[in-house]
Amino acid sequence: MSLSERRLFLLGLAALPLAACGFTPAYGPEGGASALRGRVAVQAPATKGEFDFVARLETRLGRAEAAAYDLGYAISATREAGGITAANETTRYTLRGTATWTLTSRATGTRIAGGEVNGFTSWSATGTTVAGLAAEDDAARRLSVMLADQVMIRLLAAAPTLAQ
């Protein structure tokens, strides 16, 4: 048996427990994501951070064509000094964020799922002012994407309970 055939055989053996438990890929034809794709209307953004958050969710969920659900959210972020030199100069900042979200059925107006997700990211404050501002903007974008991905994970976990 060649090395590639052994790998294929071992991969097949590793997949057996998943097949036995009824595992279905979230984005597969019968997966839970199909209940959400193009069916979730995300609340309109009002800030740059919210725009990045919504853009990431719409990338993963698709734009709502026949919306059956509304996704509301509230995002908050705080900036903290992380590294301070002996001369009392800040060399690193941390941005901590929280997104509180709720998925609501349009047909009944009832809350189907919801919760709160948290994340943080950091950036260096050393260098020029322009570099520091660019690093802060990038950290805020990364935080928004991180929070959206966490909301998406929870939506996918709730998707099997949604009516198709």
**pLDDT at position 145:** 97
Domains of the chain (ranges, CATH numbers): 30-161 (3.30.160.150)
Backbone angles phi, psi at 98, to 5 degrees: -135, 135
**pLDDT at position 15:** 62
Contacts of 36 (CB under 8 A, 6+ apart): 61, 69, 155, 156, 159, 162
Alpha carbons 79 and 96: distance in angstroms, whole number: 6
Render each residue's pLDDT in the chain as its tens digit; 164 residues: 555 667 777 666 666 565 556 666 666 666 667 778 889 999 999 999 999 999 999 999 989 888 999 999 999 999 998 887 777 787 888 999 999 999 999 999 999 999 999 999 998 888 888 988 999 999 999 999 999 999 999 999 888 777 54
Exposure of 130 by Cβ count < 10 A (0-12 exposed, 13-18 middle, 19+ buried)? exposed
